[in-house]
């Protein structure tokens, strides 16, 4: 099947408006006759479910957690971008569009990104109307801060809990519709298959995680807002339950999977402390507004710091290497994530890591304390030369901005970041790849949509900070509710979809067979055993730097591990009860397939772009080297086994942006 | 360090449940409490026994999923953290640790340490929102300036993670802190004024219908709240409720 991205004709700035005018609508009376399934209740799924229900559709929403409010969007810290230009610093829709395309290393679709930038301002209006308590200045207006890869302040925030506040906003909009009966909410349910009837997505098979019951749910369209697949790496900043299962089942039913190798490794996470570790914790990128990243200049100081004979605070300024400021003077500590992560790896690989494992760099707020403190002392008419007083005043300001992050760091690491610099290291955080969608956010399966992180569309090969929240809400509130109507306009006479059909029978039988196999497998190793081994392969061979040899090994090793998993995995308990090991096993089984496709995609992409860095393709200065012949989206078609997946290419055209070397120097 | 765990095991909602003892050896102080339980579960699985079921997801203290009573305290001995952020350095070698689920009529046990908190969701369905459609056709976000102090106080109330520690800590199993946090967030913002009367009446009604107890101002909820939600919110909700009752 040829890929048709369905990008509307006409000038870039008019495409979305024109498209909205051209597409079909469903009249209010007919919307009542149409059911939509939304899987996932994060920013994308939650906002979509609420909006579709407001429009009048009957929505059936699903999440695996005990409440829609728990979705992992809640953990997003730093903020949400919007081209409001409240700061008057030259921001505009075009600039947000430009920054996003450049930040994504020219591997995203122009038309989608422009639409995202266009609707971004409306998101802020919408959220304020919903009662989302964004940070404000003393005049009562909204405050902004800066994020990596941009030269303006366009990020709106609510301390270090922006994701929480936005998700609770979407959750409240859902609650209003659940209360009205327009959304039927299914919590503690996991989607285990998509049902395709006459070539169209017409329902799902879900497992009730409390009772173990397998359920059939039908609808006229199915929307997946099920997030990313970073947990393939085992250790990541994702929630423990985040998984690829819904997306992978959709892939197996015909949805092409795009750019699986584009993974974001976030530069500022708390370093790994030991083998028992179950997850990694992010320290928001917003900290790079005020924190400076460094390692010692001399290896002897590194040694002294590691053995405890030297404290980082004692090291003189001239003996520190603020390597981001040195290498990238224009953007300094606010270079994009992929660049910052690779730079940290480069220093640590060269032996300058500052903790015992050699995998940590400093994020230091000492100069921010003094800078803010001096300002405060001046405002309050106090002695600006009293260093202790100035530091204390400055710490108060920093506490107001990032208090919860500092507290979180202290609880985990047991060090006070007001007294000593934080230690950070990159960790898997987000996946830019995902299910391929057209301009309408429809997958290659008619009636099956993917929104938010679950799709591939807006971030190219690298996502800029504070853009995930923007995309999730843009898709759910403002894009999908329009585009899905165009498809559903043909369904007004269809009537309710029956679950009593051979397609539902077949899908349910498949699900039951897999579950039976897992539960009755008399293996000897736990699910986590396999998940950890997969994570090690992914991190070591498909991580921050990749090469042909490693990727080929990864493909073989993952396939072998998958085989071993099905022979040796052991699940205690039964299928007809709450059984977390069984749920985990199903998810890891899918990660074991996705992981192989991931490595295969990385192998085929013989260039470096954004989060995908191939050792073979770099400039003499060690920067990523893009190649013109790879200016396409890789969309993989499922053909039985990951090794047999077929590559389809969507060529990327840049008509409004000049593709040039991505420089932050 | 070596520990003795005494954990509540209950097969399902109908089972009566009991405390079961598990010895733990070589626990690292750098482990989180849940990672310590992961190690226990790994041992149990290896021995062919069923692991201890507990709710958890983000493991960074924000999703509100984790929920256990550790030595008689919601989320354990450390203050201002959820149990996923509690670290074993808060315990010492030789300690015995009791681990139980939240106990409240409105939170029935599903299995082991997992309880059903859907009552919280139903309270939110009754009024935890501002009735504005998500069309985006609202006024510009900066058209209503909001006093910074009010905005910050509303934010503080809005940081509630809905974990249920307040209910579990309260001798009356009251949900007043949870409900008042949402009522306060909207009461402090101009956008929330329009529906203020109905909101507080409906949410309190639903809270009572769910079987949560009343508030007798003992303040255990505030002490145990991992997000430091203030008792002032309960006072504010009482004022809102009283004035709403007169408007009726």
Q: Is the pTM of this model over 0.80?
A: yes
Tokens of B25: 């050896």
Q: Cβ B148–A241 below 8 Å, yes or no?
A: no
The domain limits of chain B are 3-111, 117-247
Residues pairing with A253 in the sheet: none
Alpha-carbon span B185 to A133, nearest angstrom: 8
Per-residue pLDDT, A222: 98
The predicted-structure confidence for B161-173, as pLDDT tens digits, reads as follows 999 999 999 999 9
Mean local confidence (pLDDT), A620-629:
92
Residues pairing with A224 in the sheet: A39, A450
Per-residue pLDDT, B200: 98
H or E stretch at A600: helix A580-604
C-beta of residue A431 within 8 angstroms of C-beta of residue A461 = no
Per-residue pLDDT, B248: 64
Measured between CB atoms, does A158 come within 8 Å of chain B?
A: yes
- In this model, does residue A1 exceed pLDDT 80? no
- In this model, does residue B77 exceed pLDDT 70? yes
| Extended beta strands in A391-492, E state | 422-431, 434-435, 448-450
Cβ contacts of B199 on chain A, cutoff 8 Å? none
Q: Which of A86, A140, A237 lies nearest to residue B148, judging by beta carbons?
A: A140
**What's the length of chain B?**
248
Nearest to A605 by CA among A663, A546, A536, A524: A546
Surface-to-core class of residue A141, CB atoms within 10 Å of its CB (0-12 exposed, 13-18 middle, 19+ buried): middle
C-beta of residue A96 within 8 angstroms of C-beta of residue A601 = no
Strand pairing category for B3-9 and B96-100: parallel
Nearest to A36 by CA among A48, A25, A28: A48
Per-residue pLDDT, A596: 98
Cβ contacts of B233 on chain A, cutoff 8 Å? none
C-beta of residue A37 within 8 angstroms of C-beta of residue A60 = yes
Per-residue pLDDT, A149: 85
How many CB pairs (< 8 A) connect A and B? 216
Q: What confidence category does residue A140 fall into, taking pLDDT thresholds of 50, 70 and 90?
A: very high
Per-residue pLDDT, B135: 82
Alpha-carbon span B54 to B167, nearest angstrom: 18
Per-residue pLDDT, A665: 87
Per-residue pLDDT, A663: 84
Alpha-carbon span A644 to A638, nearest angstrom: 7
Measured between CB atoms, does A478 come within 8 Å of chain B?
A: yes
Indicate the Cα dihedral angle B204, B206, B212, B213, nearest 10°. Answer: 40
Alpha-carbon span A303 to B3, nearest angstrom: 35
Measured between CB atoms, does A181 come within 8 Å of chain B?
A: no
Residue percentage of chain A with pLDDT more than 90: 93
Surface-to-core class of residue A319, CB atoms within 10 Å of its CB (0-12 exposed, 13-18 middle, 19+ buried): middle
Per-residue pLDDT, A148: 83
Q: Cβ A580–B192 below 8 Å, yes or no?
A: no
The predicted-structure confidence for A511-560, as pLDDT tens digits, reads as follows 999 999 999 998 999 999 999 999 999 999 999 999 999 999 999 999 99
For chain A, the maximum distance between any two Cα atoms, rounded to a whole number of angstroms, is 80
Looking at chain A, which residue has its C-alpha nearest residue B112? A578
Alpha-carbon span A450 to A257, nearest angstrom: 11
Measured between CB atoms, does A317 come within 8 Å of chain B?
A: no
The predicted-structure confidence for A286-327, as pLDDT tens digits, reads as follows 899 899 999 999 999 999 999 999 999 999 999 999 999 999
Q: Cβ A131–B130 below 8 Å, yes or no?
A: yes
Q: What confidence category does residue B136 fall into, taking pLDDT thresholds of 50, 70 and 90?
A: confident
Report the mean per-residue pLDDT for chain A: 96
- In this model, does residue A339 exceed pLDDT 70? yes
Strand pairing category for A221-224 and A448-450: parallel
Residue A334: phi and psi, rounded to 5, are: -105, 35
- In this model, does residue A159 exceed pLDDT 90? no
For an interface test with B, the pick among A71, A178, A179 (most B C-beta atoms closer than 10 Å) comes out as A179
CATH of B3-111, one of 3.40.50.2300, 3.10.20.30, 3.60.15.10, 3.40.50.970: 3.10.20.30
The answer for residues whose C-beta is within 8 angstroms of residue A488's C-beta and 6 or more apart is A26, A34, A36, A57, A220, A221
CATH class of segment(s) B117-247:
mainly alpha
Using alpha carbons only, what angle is made at residue A496 by residues A495 and A498, rounded to the nearest 5 degrees?
130
- In this model, does residue A600 exceed pLDDT 80? yes
Alpha-carbon span A167 to A42, nearest angstrom: 7
Measured between alpha carbons, how far is residue B162 from residues A171, A188, A306, A543, B229 in Å? 12, 16, 41, 36, 11
Q: What confidence category does residue A2 fall into, taking pLDDT thresholds of 50, 70 and 90?
A: confident
């Amino acid at each position: 099947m040829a890929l048709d991205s369905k990008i509307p004709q006409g000038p870039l700035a008019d495409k979305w408006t024109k498209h909205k005018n051209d597409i079909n609508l469903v009249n209010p009376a007919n919307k009542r006759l149409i059911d939509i399934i939304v899987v996932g209740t994060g920013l994308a799924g939650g906002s979509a479910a609420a909006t579709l229900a407001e429009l009048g559709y009957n929505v059936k929403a699903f999440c695996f957690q005990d409440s829609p409010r728990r979705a992992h969007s809640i953990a997003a810290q730093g903020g949400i971008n919007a081209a409001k230009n409240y700061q008057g610093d030259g921001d505009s829709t075009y600039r947000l569009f430009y920054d996003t395309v450049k930040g994504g290393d020219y591997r995203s679709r122009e038309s989608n990104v422009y639409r995202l930038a266009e609707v971004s301002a409306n998101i802020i209006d919408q959220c304020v109307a919903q009662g989302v308590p964004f940070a404000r200045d003393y005049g009562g207006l909204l405050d902004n801060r800066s994020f990596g890869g941009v030269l303006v302040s366009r990020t709106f925030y609510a301390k270090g809990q922006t994701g929480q506040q936005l998700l609770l906003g979407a959750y409240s909009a859902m609650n209003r519709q659940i209360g009205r009966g327009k959304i039927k909410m299914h919590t503690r349910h996991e989607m285990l298959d998509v049902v395709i009837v006459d070539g169209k997505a017409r329902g799902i098979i879900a497992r009730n995680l409390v009772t173990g019951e397998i359920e059939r749910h039908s609808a006229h369209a199915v929307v997946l807002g099920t997030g990313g697949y970073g947990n393939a790496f085992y250790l990541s900043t994702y929630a423990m339950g985040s998984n690829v299962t819904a997306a992978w089942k959709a892939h197996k039913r015909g949805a092409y999977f795009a750019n699986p190798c584009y993974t974001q490794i976030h530069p500022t996470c708390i370093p790994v402390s030991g083998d028992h570790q179950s997850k990694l914790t992010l320290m928001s990128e917003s900290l790079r507004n005020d924190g400076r990243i460094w390692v010692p200049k001399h290896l002897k100081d590194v040694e002294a710091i590691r053995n405890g004979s030297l404290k980082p605070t004692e090291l003189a300024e001239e003996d520190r290497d603020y390597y981001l400021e040195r290498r990238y003077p224009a953007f300094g500590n606010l270079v994009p994530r992929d660049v910052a992560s690779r730079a940290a790896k480069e220093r640590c690989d060269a032996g300058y890591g500052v903790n015992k494992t050699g995998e940590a760099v400093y994020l230091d707020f000492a100069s921010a304390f003094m800078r803010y403190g001096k300002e405060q002392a001046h405002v309050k008419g106090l002695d600006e030369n009293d260093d202790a007083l100035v530091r204390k005043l400055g710490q108060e300001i920093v506490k107001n901005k990032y208090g919860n992050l500092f507290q979180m760091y202290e609880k985990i690491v047991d060090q006070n970041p007001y007294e000593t610099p934080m230690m950070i290291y990159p960790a898997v955080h987000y996946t830019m790849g995902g299910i391929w969608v057209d301009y309408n956010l429809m997958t290659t399966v008619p009636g099956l949509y993917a929104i938010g992180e679950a799709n591939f569309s807006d971030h190219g090969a690298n996502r800029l900070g504070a853009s995930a929240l923007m995309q999730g809400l843009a898709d759910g509130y403002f894009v999908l509710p329009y585009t899905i109507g165009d498809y559903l306009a043909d369904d007004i006479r269809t009537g309710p979809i029956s679950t009593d059909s051979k397609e539902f029978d077949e899908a349910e039988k498949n699900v039951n067979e897999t579950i039976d196999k897992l539960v009755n497998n008399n293996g000897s190793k736990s699910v986590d055993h396999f998940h950890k081994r997969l994570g090690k392969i992914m991190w070591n061979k498909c991580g921050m730097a990749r090469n042909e040899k490693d990727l080929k090994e990864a493909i073989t090793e993952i396939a072998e591990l998958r085989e071993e998993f099905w022979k040796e995995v052991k699940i205690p308990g039964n299928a007809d009860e709450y059984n977390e090991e069984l749920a985990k096993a199903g998810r890891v089984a899918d990660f074991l397939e996705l992981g192989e496709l991931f490595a295969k995609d990385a192998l085929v992409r013989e260039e470096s772009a954004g989060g995908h860095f191939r050792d073979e393709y770099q400039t003499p200065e060690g920067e990523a080297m893009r190649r013109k012949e790879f200016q396409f989206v890789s969309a993989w078609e499922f053909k039985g086994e990951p090794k047999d997946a077929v590559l389809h290419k969507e060529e990327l055209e840049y008509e409004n942006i000049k593709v040039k070397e991505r420089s932050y120097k | 360090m070596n520990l003795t765990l005494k954990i509540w095991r209950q097969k399902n909602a109908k089972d009566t449940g009991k405390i079961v003892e598990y010895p733990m050896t070589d626990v690292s102080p750098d482990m989180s409490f849940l990672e310590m339980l992961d190690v226990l579960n790994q041992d149990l699985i290896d021995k062919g026994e069923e692991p201890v079921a507990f709710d958890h997801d983000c493991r960074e203290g924000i999703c509100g999923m984790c929920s256990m009573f550790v030595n008689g305290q919601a989320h354990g001995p450390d203050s201002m953290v959820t149990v996923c952020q509690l670290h074993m350095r808060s315990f010492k070698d030789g300690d015995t640790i009791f681990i139980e689920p939240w106990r409240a009529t409105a939170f029935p046990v599903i299995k082991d340490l997992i309880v059903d908190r859907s009552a919280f969701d139903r309270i939110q369905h009754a009024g935890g929102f501002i009735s504005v459609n998500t069309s985006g056709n609202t006024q510009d976000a900066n058209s209503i300036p909001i006093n910074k102090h009010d905005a910050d106080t509303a934010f503080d109330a809005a940081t509630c993670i809905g974990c249920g520690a307040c209910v579990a800590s309260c001798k009356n199993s009251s949900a007043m802190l949870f409900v008042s946090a949402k009522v306060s967030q909207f009461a402090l913002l101009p956008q929330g004024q329009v529906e203020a009367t109905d909101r507080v009446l409906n949410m309190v009604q639903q809270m009572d219908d769910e079987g949560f107890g009343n508030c007798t101002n003992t303040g255990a909820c505030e002490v145990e709240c991992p997000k430091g939600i203030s008792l002032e919110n309960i006072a504010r909700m009482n004022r809102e409720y009283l004035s709403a009752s007169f408007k009726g």
